[in-house]
Amino acid sequence: MSPVTAYVGVGANLDDPIAHVSRALDELGQLPDTTLVSRSALYRSAPMGPPDQPDYINAVCALSTGLCADALLDALRALEAQHGRLRDGTRWGPRTLDLDILLYGDESIQAEHLKVPHPGMAERAFVLYPLAEIAPDLNVPGLGTLQGLLRCCPRDGLQPIRG
């Protein structure tokens, strides 16, 4: 299989989230048959879910991968587990690491366990702004240009973290 560019959203809000996100970005480039092509800056955002949780640290990266989408998803879940992520069914709750396949080439995937483009990404500033940092001219399958999506998505308090 020839390499595909996959965009992955990275987030955390527990147990030193800056360290979890930074380490995960490095580890993503070490996945089998995968190279880290680019990574955004880190951003701080308010939680989407219950308000009684810490702010999130978010980033987006581009990977060149020979893994199929399902194998990439399995690798991301294994990496989340290595960071202490517990999948207890809580939606949008606090977590040590959250890795989401945002885009996988120009594919549209609508399986029960994987939906690409990632549902809701068009309304999420913590996805769109970091994504635009590394791929400003991107066309999102079924959704249009990234620049068009940005025009409809306010920053909503999204703050870049200065290093």
Q: Which residues are known to be catalytic? A: 85, 95, 98, 100
Q: What is the DSSP string of the chain?
A: ---EEEEEEEEE-SSSHHHHHHHHHHHHTTSTTEEEEEEPPPEEE--SS-SSSPPEEEEEEEEEE-S-HHHHHHHHHHHHHHTT----S-TT---S-EEEEEEETT--EE-SS-EESPTTGGG-HHHHHHHHHH-TT-EETTTEEHHHHHHT---TT-EEPP-
Contact 58, 9 (CB under 8 A): yes
Selection from 40, 56, 20 nearest residue 130 by Cα: 40
